[in-house]
Structures are given as C-alpha cells and as structure tokens.
Structure 1
Amino acid sequence: MATYLDLQNGFYNGFSQGLGFAPDIPFQMIQPSPPLIAGANQDQQLWNYFNNIPPFSLTQNYIASGGNQFTSDYSGLFSALQGAPNNFSADVGPKCNTAWDAFVATLPYTTSLSQFPMIFRNWAVRNGFISVANVGASDLAQLLLDPISSAQLSLMLYKPAGATPPNWGEGYLDLVNLLNVAPNRAFSLNSSTMNSSVSNSWTKSANEGFFGLWGGSSSSSSQSSTFAASNVTVAATFQHALQFGATPGDWYNSSAMSLAYANKDGAPWVASSPINWNNTFGSRGNMQRFASTLVVVSGMNVVVTSSAVFSKEDQNAIHNNSGAGMWPFYSANSSSGSSTDVQFNNQGNMTVTFTSQPNVPIVVGAIVEPVSVFVGQDAAQAYMKHLASIRGA
C-alpha cells in the first residue's frame, strides 16, 4: 500500500522526466502554483521566486515572503566583510561622511557605481565640503576597484532595508515572450506502476514540507492517506514549458560573493562578526543554495483520477477545501488564470481537473544550484551537464 510520500516521490519522478530532466538534475517542485497575473507588480511577483532561498527538499512549499531571502541574507553577509583599506571616511571627515551616506540612500537604485566619484565631487561642492571634494572622489574611485567595497556601495542604494525591492535583470515581459514560443510538454503517471525511489536524486531522498490532498492540509490526514493508498493516475499536458533564468540586479556583486565563498577564514571576513563562513555557506548556513532557473508552464490541462471510494463526509470536506487548490499543483481557481474542478461519481471515485489560460505563466519548479555552482566555482561543469540533460530529452 502506497504512502503519501510514495505518491509524492512518484509524481516528482514522473513530472521531472516529463519535463526532460535527468534523474540527478537538481529540479525542485514548487507548490502551490498560482498563475502569475500581469499587473503593476508583475516583475516583483516573478522576482520573489528568485529571491526565495530554496530548502533542501524535492518539494518546496513556497511562501513569497517567508524563509530565507536572498537579498536580506546577502546584505547581512556584507556587513560581516571588510574591503581593502581605504581612507575615504578619514579623508572627508565624520560630518561629510554621515551626510554623504544619507544622500546616497536617496539615490535611485539604478545609479551606476561608476558615477559615484563624479556624483560625490558635485555633491560636496554644492553642500559646503569643497575642500574634500577631490580627495573624496579619488578615494571612491579606488573603492570601486575592490570587489567587497564596491558591493557594499551597491547595497547602499537599496537602503533602508525593504525601501527598494530587489530586482533581477529579466522580468515578466521577458518571461511571457519566451514562454509563448517554448515547446509543449506532456506526461502521464499511474501510481500502480510508478517509480517512487528518489535515492538517486540531488537530495538523496529528502522531500518534505508538502501539502496533503488540498492546499494547506496535512499529508497524514485521513483523506490524504485514503487518496494515496488508492490507484492514482495523472494525465498532464502543457501548451508551453520553459526554463527561465534571470540575473540578479546591480545590488549583487558576483566577484565579491565568490571572494567570500573562496575564503573560509581571515580576509575578507571580519573576525568579530557573528556572521561567518560556516553559518552562511556551511552545512547549516542560510545561503547554501539558490533558485537559478524557474520552470514555468502555460496552457495547463491536468486530469487526476483516484480509485479510492470517498464517503459523503469526505466528499464534502474535499469540496469545501478545494478552493485552496488540490494535489499536485494546488492551483486555486482564478478568474484570470486557472481553474480547479473536483467531481465524484456515484461510487465515490474522484476526478480533479486543472486548466490554465494559454498565455498566463505558472511557476511549477526550479533548478536549484548549490552555492559552489552559483558563485562560479563549478559553473562550467554544471552548465555542460545541464545542457546534456536538455539535449537528451
């Protein structure tokens, strides 16, 4: 008799293979999967997925503002790093330095770092710091040559914390344009013949945090257990399926990040800081892995059937909670994006049908990169392996 974890693992295998991934590709399912609707905050909706640091699990119970966040952890990291020695603060004096920091916080985050020396010189002349205008500009020019100092200057444009949402180089319109020409995908699953072994996956079996039969429910509930113990079939088609990558905005400095990762002890780490290499990049660190690529679909048509016989009481409970979305995508009804329909026949067998509009993106997963790959330590090898997986699909 299959357990709910068996069913979840079997679906993971079937879904990832249907998307064309080799068993060891670090694919992570993302649940729930609501549509990304065009609107005023469409870019931020998308970037929230990249900003969320994924757990060590084959399934992520995604909460847009929960858990570890890339930008906040990154900002904390650079409070524990020290760049090459520079005399800017001493040369301009405390009064000028404080006023300059306050001014930088008012600049738009799109301000180019290369403009900082000129901006400082002009600002100093206008604000009564003429005597330090040139030396301050020269010191800033030197700061920009150091990766750590340059990264810290970039972060100043995003403060106070939360005032400017984190951005990535590619946005919602880029996603839609690429998705509309992406190939279709289809797969099927039968729980009586599925492969539920995930011991060769990138997590070596770790899979947790997922919902039960409906969104927010427990996988150990009576309805979830009854569902998993029955024969379950899935027939899924996606009009378009895309792997979408985006580059962190100017708040991110890849050279500085690589430098911090490559040096476990000593410079550029500040010895007295409570933030260190181990609690950042180590086995219990908050920046062990990143969502480098999102798996996005549109035009979804998924039919799930169950041979379980649900009592009238269970049927009512399922109907009453189906608005939160149903396994496996938990895509709730949306007037502009998706639909979930639950039906029972006279014998109490259930059929769930998911549909989504053709041009509306739905994020269903991510490719998860360990920090060593993300910062470029193993980038070439990982990229070639990923390409081989795609070409072999």
Structure 2
Amino acid sequence: MKHDLKLTSGSVQQVVNDLNAGWRNEVVRALGMDSNTFQMAQGTLGLQSADSSGLFLMADSVPPQSTTAYYDPSGKNKRSSAYNQMLHAMLPSTSSGLRAALGDQYSNWIAYRNADTSDLSQLELFKKWASRRLDPNQETAAITAFKKTLSDPLNVALSNYVDKNFYMTFTDDSGKSFTLPSYSCTIDAATKAINTGGSASIDYDSTTASTSSNGTMVSGSASGFYDIFSASAGGSFEQLNQTAASSAFTIKGTIGKYATVVSDAAEWYDGSMVSRAYNGKNDNTIWDPNSNMGTWDSFFGANGSLARRMSSLLVVSEYDLVVTSKATYSQADFQQIKAQASFGIWPFFSASASATHTETYTLNEDGSLSVRYQLNKGLIAIWGATIQNAPN
C-alpha cells in the first residue's frame, strides 16, 4: 500500500479504509470467515463486560453497508426500535370489523397506537383509548370488535414486543439499571462456544495485504470512524494521524480461542411479520398509507433500518497481539499517544471504561511505535458479525 507523505484529512481516511480492508481480510483468512458476509467490528462494542449486555447491544445494532464498522451503543440505530416502527406502519389482516365499529375514529386509534411508548398490551391500550374517545355504547361495540382482532398476527406481534418476559435487565458500573431486548447470544452461549473454539495466528502487513472485498458490502469501507489514534472529547491527533498513515502497519500474534455464536432475537421479534412487510412493498392492505412511522424504503431500502441484521457474532479470547506503526515518532509523540490516546489506536478502539484487554505501549529503537494488546483467558471480545440481508 503506497502512501502520500503530505496527507490531507481526506487521504488519511482513505488510508484507514485500506488498512481496515486489509485487516478484515486477514481475519477472514485466519479465522475462516465468509468474505461474502463477514463484517469487521471496531469500537466500544468490541470489548465487553462479563454479562450478556454487550452481546445483546451488538446483536441489536443495525449493521451499515460496509466491510468494517465502528460500533458505539450510544450512537447506533437499534434493530428492535426499527422493528417496532415497522409494526406500527402496518395494518392488521383482520381489521375490517374494527374499521366498521370505529368509523371515522379508526384513523385516530391508529395515530394513538403509533404514538404509544408504554408497555401496555394491545387490548389494554385500546381500552385506554376507547374510554377517552368513544361514547359508552360505541366503546362497548368497539372493544368487542377489537377482541376479535387480537389473534391477528400483527396484534400478537405488537403485544409480544412489549412483553417483559422477552427482555433482560442489567446493572452498569454506577449501579444504574437498564433493560435490553433478549437475544440467543448470551454470555453463557459465547463462553460455551469459546471453550470449544479454535486458535489462530495473525500476521498482517499493510504493505502486502489485499484490500479487495467480495460480497454484499462496500469494498474497503469503514463506517463512522477514520482515525488511527483516538482520544476522548477534545483530544486531537491530526498531525500524528497523518504521520502514522504515511507509513506501514503490522499486526502479529496469536488468538488463543475464537468461535461464532448465533444471535437470534427472542420472541419479541416475529420474522414472519418482517417477511410480510418485505414482500408487500406496494400493498396498501399491508402498509398503512396514513402512518408516519416509515415506508418500505425506509425499512428495506439500501440503507434501510431493517435491510440487514447480524445472524451471528465472532467472539475471541486469550489473544496476544502487537500492533506496530512503522512511522518515526519522537519521545514527545510517544508520551502524547500513551497519555491521551484513551480510546486506543487502530484497529482496537474502545472507550477506556469498556476495555477488558490490557495495552502496553513501546517506542522501539528505530522510532516505530508498538502497542501490545492482551486479553486474558475467561474474557471475551466481539470482533465482528455475519450479516444477512432482509427478509432473512
């Protein structure tokens, strides 16, 4: 890979694109991933805690159309939220009786349903709306009609989406609780997969690495992150990023264990509803033309919120890897990077509070910079995912 010694911000981005593409291809080769469907992951979701929350957050992320993606749980669209919006953009298949019972109030009910953010069941929600909007006689008839629609797959899906049995509550380091939709990729499943997983050697050199890409994702693309050094808010490494990008990189070492773990959604998600929506692109008996929750294109277009999903996650453990930047650094450069690169250096970015690996910085005799990353046995990192296109 050739570098322009007078790099601009844009050309640094292109260098990082090439570095990401080459590193992703090395992981595909060494760990036997499918180059047509594998997406490399970077960011705070790549290094997780000892519970299932990090795995669930990763599985619930909407993967961009790229071979490498930067993941941050605070900044990513959520698959579960997009799925909920899709349900609210659809019509039941057995709504004719309810339409007749509500008359001109039907559109008001749909608007009320779509604006709801509670965890009420569909019947509870409808009763709440009816008691406010309908006179007693019409309310009774409307509730009777609505009960006949409860077995409709859409209403079942809407009720399952808010069913607390399909969610899990976690507690963060500050003691604050948060709830996430459940997936099959629990920490127990990941640990079991890792314990019977394989091992691999890594030998990446950016000067000889292939930057070509196959499959359904954008060749050599990095979504959302283009730096080589990363600091917390306010930190700047513009000149050092250009220095690093002007020379080669190597990554060498071993991965003690790696495996894939299936990331299927729990029963809050109904794949048949997604298929119904996907296959009914221009069908106004499926899509509500009066809904403002989204359209077929916003869900299933090239950049749609449900156009792709993660079908499995690549997890690794017990790795010992040395990343070396072949550029020449001064002692002052080294001290700045060591003190301020709190999110790490390419390609192992992570918020320092989320990191479970150790980092050891070394300024080599020839002026190059090496960072040794070690993840101990019993700890698990997420390195990527197998991506499937809708409606799978």
Instruction: Place the TM-score, normalised by the shorter chain, in its bin.
Output: 0.7 to 0.9
Deviations 1:216-262 (A, max 9, x none): 58999322232233232211311111111122122111111110110
SS of residue matched to 1:82: coil
Q: Secondary structure at the match of 1:85?
A: coil
RMSD: 3.7
- What is the deviation of 1:164? 5.1
- 1:63-98 CA-partner distances (Å, limit 9, x unpaired): 113231111111111111111234579989x9xx9x
Which residue is equivalent to 1:389?
A: none
Q: Distance in 1 between matches of 2:68 and 2:389?
A: 16
Amino acid at match of 1:318: I
Equivalent residue, structure 2, for 1:21:
33
Match of 1:272 among 277, 283, 290: 290
User: Which aligned pairs between 1:66-81 and structure 2 lie closer than 5 A?
Assistant: 66-81=75-90
Give the whole-Å Cα distance in 1 for the aligned partners of 2:183 and 2:367.
48
What is the SS of the residue equivalent to 1:187? strand
Task: Specify every segment of 5 or more residues in structure 2 that has no aligned partner in the other structure, as ranges.
Answer: 4-14, 128-138, 170-177
CA 1:264–1:78 in structure 2 vs 1: closer, same or farther (change >3 Å)?
A: same
Corresponding residue number in structure 2 for 1:382: none
Greater alpha carbon shift after TM alignment, 295-304 vs 310-319: 310-319
Higher normalized strand content (fraction of residues): 2
Deviations 1:311-341 (A, max 9, x none): 2332222112233222211256679931011
5 Å-filtered alignment, 1:315-354, equals: 315-331=334-350, 337-354=356-373
Same amino acid, percent of matched pairs: 23
> Quick one: distance in 1 between partners of 2:55 and 2:343?
21
Task: State which of 319, 335, 355 in structure 1 corresponds to 2:374.
Answer: 355
**Contact 2:262/2:311 (8 A) holds in 1:** yes
Partners of 2:274 and 2:18 in 1: CA distance: 39
Structure 1, unmatched stretches of 5+, are 108-112, 121-131, 375-393
Aligned-partner Cα distance in 1 for 2:389–2:60 = 15
The equivalent position to 2:278 in structure 1, one of 261, 265, 275, is 261
Determine the C-alpha separation between the residues in 2 that align with 1:256 and 1:349.
54
Preserved contact between residue 44 and residue 73 of structure 2 (Cα < 8 Å) = no
Q: Report the secondary structure of 1:359's partner residue.
A: coil
Alignment of 1:186 onto 2:201: yes
User: Whole-Å Cα distance in 2 between the matches of residues 172 and 202 of structure 1?
Assistant: 28
TM-score where L is the length of structure 2: 0.75
**In the alignment, which residue of structure 1 is the partner of 2:130?**
none
Amino acid at match of 2:287: W
* 1:178 partner amino acid: A
Contact preservation (8 Å) 1:35, 1:360: no
Alignment partners' CA distance in 2, 1:271 and 1:333? 46
1:313 to 332, 337, 356: 332
Q: Cα–Cα, structure 1 residues 229 and 15, in superposed 2: closer, same or farther, change >3 Å? A: farther
2:190 maps to what in 1? 175
Q: Give 1:149's aligned residue.
A: 155
**Other structure's SS at 2:348 match:** coil
Q: Read off the aligned partner of 1:49 and give its amino acid letter.
A: M
Check conservation: 1:211, 1:219, Cα contact below 8 A.
no
